[in-house]
Amino acid sequence: MEQMKQALEEFMAGIRKDPRICLAHIGVFSVLLHVREEYGGKEPFPIKREELMKSAKISSTATYFKIIRQLHEYGYIYYLPTFNRMGQSRVSLSTGQAPVPH
């Protein structure tokens, strides 16, 4: 629970000063935070695009990938995509802890 609080505090501190962040970024980040807790707070954790999109109320895959890419580029998450349809992409929310391939 302490990890969740720290990740949320870091995110909130960052977005207060970041005009690039919109409601979709906040929605996706909050869903990622919840998914991480479902995996016991371990990072990196696997994500499923369909589930994230449904929970974050995003209907377009283009928008989803844009938001994930931007959160990664802005430094709020580390995103390790998989290009294998049978595999899962992985994400880390912790500062300084990049996802590692498995």
Q: Convert the pLDDT of each residue in 3-57 to its tens digit.
A: 778 888 888 888 888 999 999 999 999 999 999 999 998 899 999 999 999 999 9
DSSP secondary structure, the chain, as one string = -HHHHHHHHHHHHHHHT-TT--HHHHHHHHHHHHHHHHTTT-SSEEE-HHHHHHHHT---HHHHHHHHHHHHHTTS-EEE----TTS-EEEE-STT------
- CB–CB of 28/67 below 8 Å? yes
pTM of the model: 0.85
**What structural domains and CATH numbers belong to the chain?**
2-92 (1.10.10)
Q: What is the pLDDT of residues 51-93, one digit of tens each?
A: 999 999 999 999 999 999 999 999 999 999 988 878 899 999 8
